[in-house]
Amino acid sequence: MTTAFRELWALQQIDSRIQELQRELSALDTGAQAGRVRDAARAKLDSSTAELRRIESELADTELAIKSTEARIREIEGRMYSGKVTNPKELESLSQEVDMLKRNQDRLETRELELLDEQEKAKETVARARILFQRKQKEYDDTVAATGARRAGLEDELKRAQASREEQEERLKAASGDLFRRYETLRPKLGGVAVAPVQGGCCGACKVRISSQLLAAIEKGEAVVSCDSCARILVPGE
């Protein structure tokens, strides 16, 4: 392999690695999916916490209403049995009011029991939601941390590869400016791979067999030989 083709193949290998590093960086898990799952778990925790607060608020109001009703019953019964109220109609009215208050008290106490049961269930729901959120938060944090470490390593390697690419470009230009320009023209048209080594008598990229005449020309390195199938510049295999 002549110097120019050797430098060309070295440049292609560097460019291929740069391309690979860029793909790896683009494919890194940014934590977006883990973040969405974490956010859904947080929303569940927030909604279950809000429901618990609503239940506790209604329970407090119900307990207050029960105490108020009990106080009112005691007050009316105190008047009824104090001997100060002697009018039969007034006593009947007070008795009816007590009956109404006791029915309301029964309703409130039934609702209080329901709310106590709902409160316990809501507390369990909140506890489960909190555990789930904490687990999803940790998964998100771990993903971001792992991605950050991997990204730093890839970016550092990419920086070194790009610096090496600049040096290799200069070496190829010094060996053959025409070959470099041809390479740069072909590379974007061929998915970033403009050079292929000969492997087992075939193009290393598209695997099409190369004629013996072309193989001889490639080995001599006296002219630029391109694959008849994929148009890549062919160089001797290593």
Give the 3-state DSSP-derived string for the chain, with helices as H, strands as E and coil as C.
CCHHHHHHHHHHHHHHHHHHHHHHHHHCCCCHHHHHHHHHHHHHHHHHHHHHHHHHHHHHHHHHHHHHHHHHHHHHHHHHCCCCCCCHHHHHHHHHHHHHHHHHHHHHHHHHHHHHHHHHHHHHHHHHHHHHHHHHHHHHHHHHHHHHHHHHHHHHHHHHHHHHHHHHHHHHHHHCHHHHHHHHHHHHHHCCCCEEEEECCEECCCCCECCHHHHHHHHHCCCCCECCCCCCEEECCC
Instruction: Give the pLDDT confidence score for residue 1 in this predicted structure.
Output: 54
Enter the tokens of residue 65: 């209403």
Task: Give the list of residues 6+ apart from residue 187 with CB closer than 8 angstroms, or none.
Answer: 15, 193, 194
Instruction: Give the pLDDT confidence score for residue 220 in this predicted structure.
Output: 85
Question: Percent of the chain beyond pLDDT 90?
Answer: 88
pLDDT tens column, 52-67: 999 999 999 999 999 9
Q: Which residues pair with 203 in a beta bridge?
A: 198
pLDDT tens column, 10-20: 999 999 999 99
pLDDT tens column, 102-155: 999 999 999 999 999 999 999 999 999 999 999 999 999 999 999 999 999 999
pLDDT tens column, 155-192: 999 999 999 999 999 999 999 999 999 999 999 999 99
Place of tokens 């974490």: 38
Residue pair 25/153 in contact by the 8 Å Cβ criterion: no
Residue pair 143/31 in contact by the 8 Å Cβ criterion: yes
Cα–Cα distance measured from residue 52 to residue 122, given in angstroms and rounded to the nearest whole number: 5
Instruction: Give the pLDDT confidence score for residue 221 in this predicted structure.
Output: 82
Q: Is the pTM of this model over 0.75?
A: no
pLDDT tens column, 198-208: 999 999 999 99
Domains within the chain, CATH numbers bracketed: 3-22+174-235 (no CATH), 27-170 (1.10.287.1490)
